[in-house]
Amino acid sequence: MKSMSPATHDLLSMLPLPEGLPRMLIIDDQPANIQVLYRLFADDFQVFMATSGEQGLETARQESPDIILLDVVMPDMNGFETCSSLKQDAQTCDIPVLFVTAHQNPDEETRALEIGGVDFITKPINPAVVRARVRTHLTLKRQTDTFKRLVFIDGLTGTFNRRYFDTQLTSEFARAARSRSSLGLILVDVDHFKLFNDHYGHQAGDDCLRAVARALRHTLWRPGDAVARYGGEEFACILPDTDLEGALMVAQRMTDAVHALGLAHETSTTDQVVTISAGVAVLSPGPGGTPSELVALADEQLYKAKAGGRAQVCGLQGPAPATLKA
C-alpha cells in the first residue's frame, strides 16, 4: 500500500475534523423555548444559549458555533436584524442560521431566506423533522468548510496558500480599520535556500520547506493568527490585534523554532543549519489605507534583516493613520 505523503498528512491535519460534539447556539428571548430545544439537542451538541439578539451576536463571535437556531420575535433586536448582523460579520457570516418561530407568514419566511437564513421552521415543532433539518445543514456546512480549506491550502507545505493570505489580509485590514486596532505582518524568508536546493537536491528542499512550515505554525498560539506560504521559500504570518512588541516576539519564536530544527545546511554562509530572516511591520489602518502598504513595510524590514547578516528579525511600527496615502 502506498503511504501518505508528508504534504498530504499536513494538509489533512488542517481540515476541520468532527472532534467532540458540534456547537449549537440557540437565540430566543423565551427561556421555555430555549429549554425545549436544549433538551432536543443536548445529547448531540454542545449547546450555547442567548436571550437577546445582542447577546447572541457576542456569543457567536466568542464561541464560533457550527449552527444557530434563531427566533424571529425578540425585543430590541429581532431575529431578522440579528441574522443580518451575523451575515455582515466576516467571523460569523458562514454559520448556517435556522429560524424557529411561531409565525407562519410566507412573507416572513421569504424575508428570512433572503437575508441569509438557510431554513424556516414553524412552531409547534416536530422534533424528528427539526433534528433531521439541523443534521442536514450541519453536514452541508462541514462539507463546505472542508472544500474552502482545500482551496486555501498549499499542496506542498500544508500551510495556507497565497490565495488565502491575500483574502485574509484584505479582510483583517478592513476589520482593523473599522475597529481602529493594529494589524501585524511577518514576512519570512528561508536563508540561502537556492544553495540548499543546489547542494541537497529538490526533494530535500521540499522536505525542508515542510519542516519549516510546521515549525512556523507551532509558534502561533492564538486561533486568529495564520501562516501562509507567500511564494517559493517565503512565508507570511498575519497577526490581528497585535502591537510591534508582540509581533517581534512571535517573529523571534519563529527564528528560534526553525534554528532548533537543526536541519544541516553545509553551503550556508550564515550558519551550519537552516535559518530564516524575518521582517515585521505593524500598522493601524486609516481611511484610504491599503493592505499593500503593510506588505511593503514588512518587505522593507525583511530586506533589512537579510542585508544585516540574515538569521535575524527586523521590525517597524508603521506611520499613524493620518499620514497614510489616500
Portion of the chain with pLDDT greater than 70, in percent: 92
| Residues 315 and 194 occupy one common structural domain | yes
- Cα 45 off chain centre by: 23
Question: Do residues 312 and 276 lie in contact, with contact meaning Cβ atoms separated by under 8 Å?
Answer: no
pLDDT band at 2 (very low <50, low <70, confident <90, very high): very low
In a domain, residue 156? The reply is no
Assess whether 173 and 312 both reside in one domain: yes
Among the three residues 121, 151, 181, which one is the final residue of a domain in this structure? Answer: 151
Please check whether residues 185 and 102 belong to one and the same domain.
no
Angle at 109 between CA 49 and CA 133, to 5 degrees: 55
Reply yes or no on whether the pLDDT at 125 is more than 60: yes
Task: Please answer whether residues 167 and 226 qualify as being in contact, where contact means their C-beta atoms are separated by less than 8 angstroms.
Answer: no
The pLDDT score that the predictor gives to residue 232 is 96
Q: Looking at residues 212-220, what average pLDDT do you find?
A: 97
Q: Is residue 128 part of a domain?
A: yes
Same-domain check for residues 68 and 104? yes
**Average of pLDDT values for 37-58?**
96
pLDDT at 9: 42
Dihedral Cα 183, 279, 208, 310, nearest 10 deg: -160
Question: What Cα–Cα distance (Å) separates residue 326 from each residue in 81, 232, 287, 290?
Answer: 34, 32, 7, 9
Span 163-209, pLDDT tens digits: 999 999 999 999 899 889 999 999 999 999 999 999 999 999 999 99
Q: Which of 199, 239, 201 is nearest to 219 (CA)?
A: 239
Based on the fold, state whether residues 139 and 184 are members of the same structural domain.
Answer: no
CA atoms within 13 A on the CB side of 170: 5
pLDDT of residue 307: 97
Q: What's residue 19's pLDDT?
A: 54
Clarify whether residues 13 and 131 are in a common domain: yes
Judgement on whether residues 195 and 91 belong to the same structural domain of the protein: no
For residue 240, being part of any structural domain is answered with yes
Assigned domain for 1 exists: no
- Write down the residue that cell numbers 544541516 correspond to: 264
Asked if the structure places residue 185 within a domain, the reply is yes
**Predicted confidence band of residue 223 (pLDDT cuts 50, 70, 90):** confident
What does the pLDDT average to over 210-221?
Answer: 96
Rounded to whole angstroms, what are the CA distances from 295 to 62, 84, 186, 265, 283?
29, 32, 9, 29, 10
Distance CA 193, CA 268 (A): 8
Q: Are residues 172 and 74 in the same domain?
A: no
Task: Phi first, then psi: give them for residue 24, nearest 5 degrees.
Answer: -120, 140
Question: Is-catalytic flag, 109?
Answer: no
Q: Of the given ranges (3-7, 67-71, 123-127), which has the lowest mean pLDDT?
A: 3-7
Residue 13 falls within a domain, yes or no? yes
| Domain limit, last residue, from 132, 151, 170 | 151
Task: Report the alpha-carbon distance of residue 278 to residue 234 in Å, rounded.
Answer: 10
Considering the domain architecture, whether residues 272 and 306 belong to the same structural domain is answered as: yes
Per-residue pLDDT for 152 more than 80?
A: yes
- pLDDT at res. 326: 33
How much is the pLDDT for 104? 84
The domain containing residue 317 runs over which residues? 162-323
CATH label of the domain that carries residue 24: 3.40.50.2300
**Contact present, 25 and 97 (Cβ < 8 Å):** no
Say which residues have a Cβ less than 8 Å from residue 101's Cβ, sequence separation at least 6. 71, 72, 73, 79, 108, 120, 121, 122, 123
Whether residue 224 is contained in a domain is answered as yes
- Greatest alpha-carbon pair distance for the chain in Å reads 74
List the grid coordinates of 136.
Answer: 442536514
Spatial separation of the C-alpha atoms in residues 245 and 291, rounded to whole Å: 20
Among the three residues 151, 174, 191, which one is the final residue of a domain in this structure?
A: 151
- Domain co-membership, 132 together with 202: no
pLDDT for 325: 38
11, 114: one domain: yes
Q: At 5, list the grid cell.
A: 505523503
Cell of residue 270, nine digits: 550564515
170 and 285 share a domain?
yes
Would you say residue 321 has pLDDT above 80? Answer: no
116 is a domain residue: yes
3: which residues sit within 8 A by CB, 6+ positions away? none
Whether residue 71 contacts residue 29, with contact meaning beta carbons closer than 8 Å, is answered with yes
Which pLDDT value is given to residue 266? 96
* CATH of residue 244: 3.30.70.270
pLDDT at 103: 82
Q: Structurally, how many domains does the chain consist of?
A: 2
Is the distance from CB of 189 to CB of 277 less than 8 angstroms? yes
Candidate list 233, 245, 266, 293, residue with the active-site label: 233
pLDDT digits 0-9 by tens, 248-301: 999 999 999 999 999 999 999 999 999 999 999 999 998 888 999 999 999 999
Contact (CB, 8 A) for 237 and 186 = yes
